[in-house]
Amino acid sequence: MLLLSSQGLCQELLPLPKPVLLPLVDFSLREWKVKTNETKRQEILCDLAMLADAVTAAQSHVGLECAGALLEQLYRKTSSFHLLLQTFSWQVGAGGPSCTPRTVAQSHPSTAFLAYRQLVQGKLRFLFHDLARESCAEGSPGKAPEPPSPSAGR
């Protein structure tokens, strides 16, 4: 992930004067497998919205140089995934579960990059795998391959 490697080059990534709330994006695979795809989508949407809010809050405390530019990229990538997931809807007209993700207060901007990576390589990757498997099951017999490990793309 380019963002994560680039953030190490910024000398100005200093702790924030006020902590921001980040979503806790870890999950139990056993619990994840029993959720519907719509529930997974709603959960990820909540996490992405909270992450975007945290990045916006962090941006107000950093300079416009390196750290500010990286946080802007992170905001755009987070918002893009959020917009993409909003276009999917399995339960038309359903309000969905309330958005109450588990959170953690963090003072260092680098934790937002870590939360993004964990979200994309964890929940989002498994959701897309589940959608592909479901699509394959509807279209033809067979099984979708397991998602590649997060380290395979590096």
Predicted local distance difference test score (pLDDT) of residue 138? 76
Cα 51 from Cα 106, distance rounded (Å): 12
Q: Cβ distance 85 to 57 under 8 Å?
A: no
Q: Cβ distance 44 to 116 under 8 Å?
A: no
Q: In the 8-state DSSP scheme, what is residue 93? A: T
C-alpha distances in Å from residue 139, one per residue of 36, 109, 128, 133, 144:
19, 44, 16, 10, 11
Predicted local distance difference test score (pLDDT) of residue 116? 95
Bridge partners (DSSP) of residue 150 are none
Write the CATH number of the domain with boundaries 2-26+33-88+98-149.
1.20.1250.10
Cα 117 from Cα 103, distance rounded (Å): 16
Helix and strand numbers (H, E) in the chain are: 6, 2
90-126 CB burial, b ≥16 within 10 A, e <16: eeeeeeeeeeebeeeebeebbbbbebbebbbbbbbbb
> If we measure between CA atoms, which residue out of 83, 82, 154, 78 comes closest to residue 114?
78
Predicted local distance difference test score (pLDDT) of residue 139? 67
- Domain coordinates of the chain in residue numbers? 2-26+33-88+98-149
The mean pLDDT value of the chain amounts to: 81
Read off the pLDDT of residues 41-96 as tens digits, 9 standing for 90 and up: 999 999 999 999 999 999 888 876 788 889 999 999 999 999 999 887 655 444 55
Mean pLDDT score, 103-126: 93
Q: How does residue 147 score in pLDDT terms, banded at 50, 70 and 90? A: low
